[in-house]
Amino acid sequence: MKILFWLSFILVVFVYFGYPLFLFLLTLFIKKPVKKGEIAPFITIVIPAHNEEKVIAEKMQNTLALDYPKDNLEVIVISDHSTDKTNDIVKQYVSKNVKLLIQDQRKGKMSALNRAIPQAKGEVIVFTDANTMFDKYAVKNLIRNFGDEKVGCVGGNSRYAISSCLSIQLGGVSYTHYERLLWNLESQLQSLLVVHGGIYALRKPLFSPVDEAFADDFVNPLRVAAKGYGVVYEPEAKAIENVTKETKEEFKRKVRVISQGYIAYVNMLRVILSCGHVRIIQYFVHKFLRWLVPLFLIAIFISNVFLLSSKYYQTIFALQTIFYMFAIIGYWLQERKSKIKIFYIPFYFSLLNIASLVGLFTAINGKQNGIWEKAETTR
């Protein structure tokens, strides 16, 4: 049991702390600075939407107010069988270089993107979501990275809009800070693994249709890297995303994203293995092992039970129990729309890992599909 305990413990520590250290050490020897340029190629902003009547007008106004040459910008909204007023609202903007495409059947985000992008005229495609609002200079800051001909994909910096001090939101913000640290380190290697689906850009010739069960923000950067182009993070390409209000909504979103990741990882393993040794290690640790952390945590807890004859392991077991009790209290406070800082990180950490476990079984059972369920936002 000691072997199981310590092996699982070491793997968890390595995933969360060893990986950032690995990246940092790599950046001491391997750096690939981006040669940014003040360029303004013709671009297409693609917005998939399903029943977004609450935010789509604001998104249109936000997009059209961007600091980017209007003659070099087109906007495509692809409505995935919206049954509310989304289509009517978008039609009010068609005279401003906005194009509306409509899917008569609900097929999901990837199906919408696969249909929209071949009709895009832009040299670069900017991907965004209806509930993600760009900073005025976000697109300009994204595009300047394409001044480097070796860069094929650029991820932006989307942050949560906090409308209330709920632990689900505050925990998500804390986790985002950790992710941004990794993105900055990966970007120094031009080896960003994933991008935020609400704000990223891609050279159009590098896009090819993505399976509807996969996530575009996972697959597109992977394919770009496999073709020999760099994938980088642009922190000055800022956006605000309206987060979900309820625990169950965030949980469902995490399960969907993680199960899509599992499926894509397995189906695109050959592509991953063609990306070079460093990127293979990145995918193995930052994705595959990270998704397996809940199994390691279960192994640590169960093996610890069999080692309680030692005071040392009794202390470790007590610390684990306190941590998970804090997570339960954090959930209880969340349901009552309250918060105490010490509880929301254990709560969100536990939520994320339970979602990883459910996502794994969802992927194994083959129940995942490309249809996203729209969550209520904090408008």
Query: Which CATH number do you get for residue 115?
Result: 3.90.550.10
> Exposure pattern of 228-264 as b/e (b: 16+ CB <10 Å)?
ebbbbbbeebbbbbbbbbebebbbbbbbbbbbbbbbb
Length of the chain: 379
Domain range enclosing 297:
1-31+247-368
Reduced to 3 states (helix: H, G, I; strand: E, B; else coil), residue 373 is coil
Average pLDDT for the chain = 88
Higher pLDDT, 110 or 230: 230
Shared domain for 10 and 88, answered yes or no, is no
pLDDT above 50: residue 197:
yes
pLDDT digits (tens, 9 = 90+) for 51-60: 999 999 999 9
Shared domain for 57 and 184, answered yes or no, is yes
In a domain? residue 189: yes
In a domain? residue 37: no
d(CA 191, CA 184): 10
d(CA 125, CA 42): 9
Please report the sign of the dihedral spanned by the C-alpha atoms of residue 302, residue 307, residue 308, residue 314: negative
> How many Cβ atoms from other residues are within 10 Å of residue 318's Cβ?
12
pLDDT digits (tens, 9 = 90+) for 239-256: 998 755 567 777 888 888
Of 243, 263, 291, which closes a domain?
Answer: 243
- What pLDDT is attached to residue 165? 46
- What pLDDT is attached to residue 371? 62
Shared domain for 102 and 205, answered yes or no, is yes
Reduced to 3 states (helix: H, G, I; strand: E, B; else coil), residue 246 is coil
In a domain? residue 96: yes
pLDDT digits (tens, 9 = 90+) for 215-232: 889 999 999 999 999 999
In a domain? residue 83: yes
Calculate the alpha carbon distances from 213 to 118, 143, 291, 375 in Å: 19, 29, 18, 19
pLDDT digits (tens, 9 = 90+) for 41-78: 999 999 999 999 999 999 999 999 999 999 999 999 99
In a domain? residue 347: yes
Number of domains comprising the chain: 2
Candidates 164, 153, 228, 165; CA nearest to 193 is 153
Task: Say if CB 131 and CB 57 are below 8 A apart.
Answer: no
Shared domain for 322 and 345, answered yes or no, is yes
Shared domain for 232 and 193, answered yes or no, is yes
Q: Which residues pair with 231 in a beta bridge?
A: 153, 191
Q: Kindly state the average pLDDT of the residues 297-319.
A: 96
Confidence of residue 379 (pLDDT cuts 50, 70, 90): very low
Shared domain for 80 and 197, answered yes or no, is yes
In a domain? residue 82: yes
Of 243, 276, 308, which closes a domain?
Answer: 243
Shared domain for 235 and 295, answered yes or no, is no
In a domain? residue 36: no
In a domain? residue 377: no
Shared domain for 22 and 57, answered yes or no, is no
Q: Which residues contact 273 (CB under 8 A, 6 or more apart)?
A: 280
Task: Say if CB 61 and CB 98 are below 8 A apart.
Answer: no
Shared domain for 25 and 3, answered yes or no, is yes
pTM: 0.88
Please report the sign of the dihedral spanned by the C-alpha atoms of residue 197, residue 49, residue 359, residue 349: positive
